[in-house]
Structure 1
Amino acid sequence: MYRRSWLSLLAVSLLAGATTLAAAQGAWPTKPITMIVPFPPGGLADLVARPVAEAMSRDLGQPVVIENKAGAGGGIGMAAAAKSKPDGYTILMALSSLTVIPEADVLLGRPAMFTLPDLRPIARFTADPTVLAVRADSPWKTVQQFVEDAKKRPGAINYGSSGNYGTMHVPMEILAQNAGIKLTHIPFTGAGPAVVALLGGQIDAVSSGPATVLQQVKAGKLRVLAHWGTAPLGALPDVGSLKDAGFNAEYAQWSGLFIPQGTPEPVAQRLRAAAKFAAQDAKVKDVILGAGSPVLYQDSPDFDKYVQADAKRMAEVVKRIGKVE
């Protein structure tokens, strides 16, 4: 009888524990969520993250708090997200450099900051070609003039980026290789600081998402010479592509939401639904479009395929760029 009573008590305890766990999972989230942005304020990731976080907060019923964790071309923040506890309370708003950094780690023979399988794609929000921006008082009115000057003065023209192998470095190297020119690369911690340096005359050019430079273009402080896309840009319809100018150079800078691999499926699906809610929210669309980047949403399955394909393309680009210390 004692054994039967003990077993009954154990069964009740296990049932209560399972019920409590199920209830806890059903109630998720029960506290604020941190959205890591692996770049400083002012760049594309931050511009997208802030309206998205606000909309997701409304849908989830808990604050989604932005944490800018910059450095190493986004690698520091991406690694922090990849290594965080997979409970849904740490999420990542990344740019396309996410597919480049692991390849750069292999090329340089350094310990991997993270690997692509460490993170699970949840939703893509934007996918824009980068644009070549210079100061409005620069001597270059066209990309052809920029390239011809660079040929005459190898290494004399410099450009800023968000870090080695980042989304501002890779497209410039693609152009340099295709055009047969040598440019000097000056890395910063993010797009925001690089654009500030351009405005201040410390550097000559940047390649960035349209949203990062659009307001300065409208203010007459910057000029866009070309873009890395294949179709006209909605925000800059009068700007031609590098292909139009005779250069076989393409590159798209995308932004998307990721979570640590191993996050419980119910939590992952709840975040997926909140991301979709944000992508369809009128306020989010208006804010991102106003910055110069239309929302180009992709749900988790399609975004996963997109990331894998992008990683294959970028692996070849990184090999062509070679070692950059």
Structure 2
Amino acid sequence: MRKLAWSKAALALAAWIAAAAACAAAYPERPITLVVPFPPGGVADTVARPVAEALGRELGQPVVIENKAGAGGAVGIGQAARAKPDGNTLLMSLSSISILPEADRLLERKPAYGLEQFVPIARVTADPTVLVVRADAPWHSLQDFVQAARRQPGKLDYGSSGIYGTMHVPMAMLENAADIRMTHVPFTGAGPAVQALLGGQVQALATGPASVLQLIQAGRLRALAHWGEQALQALPEVPSLASQGLDARFVQWSGVFALAGTPAPVIERLRQAMRAVAQDEKVRGLIAASGSPVMYLDAPEFDAYWKKDSASLAQAVRRIGKVQ
């Protein structure tokens, strides 16, 4: 009886291995959707486009970007969370994926998704946000900006991609660290927020370098500071908040996720493809040119990084408190 049981177990295992191998060999059989939970023009979209093109080459099927903006990223992330876990729907998200569920709980709302609904595949970039103003603004340094905010509490408006998003949280950190008060004006994504800054509807914002580097280089925007600990590769002359005596740090990373429950062979296939994408010189060049050099982490390292970062961001949201 024991031999028969072991024989059946061995046959079942062999069948599972064969099925898994067949699943991996067949995947993908149709185009893949890469959900970007922000409108075109923001960091996630800027990184997603070269990644999608290269990932499609690696997988042998087109990877089609679907921009699904709203609620600081919650609309698109929630949509991706409801997809079938078969590898045919992926998510390109920013670090806001970790912030939004905690913000919903703080506001006593049902979260649009849970972090447990996603499996990290690869981190692509990781950049501190940058404080920018229009080039014709009267502030030429962080000190100028902070002093102006102190003189007129609530008078300066700053834009963001949405409440508790990756453009709102760092500015709230700056307010707390510098003991100033500004007015938050949320938009549907980084792209619209940057356009509002250029148009004079807001006076400042914090965003990843990829959203504003070309505008800084073109002389349309001015960078005053960043939320990192080391000099930025794209903007080495811009000081950090920490170097100016302000305790505020924030990294806006981008990463690719699959749905929890996606078959392990499909996850492994995606990991292999993303390793190749991260090493693709064309992809690295395009992303670096936008101001966000590739800072690749494979799934295990990304998972550990994500857990630690999520805990830190949840704490930051609780410090900010309820915002309506």
TM bin, normalised by shorter chain, reads over 0.9
Contact 1:37–1:45 (CA under 8 A) maintained in structure 2: yes
Residue type of the alignment partner of 1:141: H
In structure 2, what is the Cα distance between the partners aligned to 1:285 and 1:19?
36
Q: Which is greater in Rg?
A: 1
3-state SS of the aligned residue for 2:295?
Answer: coil
1:24 to partner: Cα distance: 4.9
SS of match in other structure, 2:132: strand
Matched, 1:35 2:6: no
Aligned to 2:178: 179
- Determine the C-alpha separation between the residues in 1 that align with 2:214 and 2:24: 43
Alpha-carbon separation, structure 2, partners of 1:236 and 1:204: 21
- 1-structure distance, mates of 2:151, 2:254: 36
**Offset of residue 23 of structure 1:** 3.5
User: Which residue of structure 1 aligns with residue 322 of structure 2?
Assistant: 323
Deviation track 1:112-166 (CA, whole Å, cap 9, x = no partner) reads 1001111111100000000000000001001111111101100000100000000
2:218 match:
219
1:160 and 1:186 in contact (8 A); partners too: yes
Contact 2:23–2:266 (CA<8 Å) still a contact in 1? no
Within 5 Å, which residues of 2 pair with 1:79-228?
79-228=78-227
Shift of 1:25: 4.4
Q: Distance in 1 between matches of 2:217 and 2:83?
A: 40
* Pairwise CA distance, 1:41: 0.5
Tell me how far apart the structure 2 counterparts of residues 58 and 317 of structure 1 sit (CA, whole Å).
39
Q: Give the 3-state SS of the residue equivalent to 1:100 in structure 2.
A: helix
Q: Which residue of 1 aligns with 2:304?
A: 305
Distance of 1:180 and 1:315 partners within structure 2:
21
Q: Is the 8 A contact 1:171 1:207 kept in 2?
A: yes
RMSD: 1.6
Q: Cα–Cα, structure 1 residues 20 and 181, in superposed 2: closer, same or farther, change >3 Å?
A: closer
AA at the equivalent of 1:30: E
Partner Cα separation in structure 2 for residue 282 and residue 130 of structure 1:
25
Q: Distance in 2 between matches of 1:88 and 1:205?
A: 39
Counterparts of 1:19 and 1:107, CA distance in 2: 47
TM-score (norm 1): 0.93
User: Which whole-Å CA distance do the structure 1 matches of 2:22 and 2:274 have between them?
Assistant: 23
Alignment check: 8 A CA contact 1:105 1:111 kept: yes
Question: What is the CA-CA distance between 1:22 and the residue it aligns to?
Answer: 5.7
* Preserved contact between residue 129 and residue 206 of structure 2 (Cα < 8 Å): yes
How far 1:20 sits from its partner (Å)? 8.0
Confirm whether residue 241 of structure 1 aligns to residue 243 of structure 2: no
> Is contact 1:150-1:181 (8 Å) kept?
yes
Divergent runs of 4+, >3 A? 18-25
Alignment partner, residue 73 of structure 2: 74
Give the partner amino acid of 1:27.
A
Instruction: Tell me what 2:251 maps to.
Output: 252
Alpha carbons of structure 1 residues 289 and 22: separation in structure 2 relative to 1, 3 Å: closer
Q: What secondary structure, in the 3-state scheme, does the structure 2 residue paired with 1:313 have?
A: helix
Instruction: Please list the CA deviations of residues 290-321 of structure 1 after superposition, one character each: whole Å capped at 9, or x if unmatched.
Output: 00111000000010011100111011100111
Rounded to whole Å, the distance in 2 between the matches of 1:19 and 1:37 is 34
Give the AA of the match of 2:72. Answer: G
The TM-score normalised by the length of structure 2 is 0.93
Give secondary structure in 1 for the equivalent of 2:242. coil
Q: What secondary structure, in the 3-state scheme, does the structure 2 residue paired with 1:94 have? A: strand
* Structure 2 portions without partners, runs of 5+: 1-13
Aligned residue pairs total 311
Equivalent residue number for residue 293 of structure 2: 294
User: How far off is 1:172 after superposition?
Assistant: 0.2
After superposition, the Cα gap between the structure-2 partners of 1:225 and 1:20, relative to the gap in structure 1 and judged at 3 Å, is: closer
Work out whether residues 20 and 265 of structure 2, in 8 Å CA contact, stay in contact via their aligned partners in 1.
Answer: no
For residues 220-268 of structure 1, what are the alpha-carbon distances to aligned partners after superposition, in whole Å with 9 as ceiling and x for unaligned? 0000000001111111111111111111111000000001100000011
- What are the equivalent positions in structure 2 for 1:241-280 lying under 5 Å apart? 241-280=240-279
| SS of alignment partner, residue 305 of structure 2 | helix
Aligned with 1:26: secondary structure? helix
Q: Is the CA contact 1:82–1:259 (under 8 Å) kept in the aligned structure 2?
A: no
C-alpha distance in structure 1 between counterparts of 2:24 and 2:148, whole Å: 61
2:79 and 2:264 map into 1 onto residues whose CA distance is 21
Q: Secondary structure at the match of 1:62?
A: coil
Instruction: Tell me, in whole angstroms, the C-alpha distance in 1 between the residues paired with 2:53 and 2:63.
Output: 7
How much has 1:19 moved relative to structure 2?
A: 7.2
Letter in 1 for 2:171: M
Specify the code of the residue in structure 2 equivalent to 1:121. Answer: P
| Greater alpha carbon shift after TM alignment, 115-124 vs 22-31 | 22-31
Q: Distance in 2 between matches of 1:188 and 1:220?
A: 24
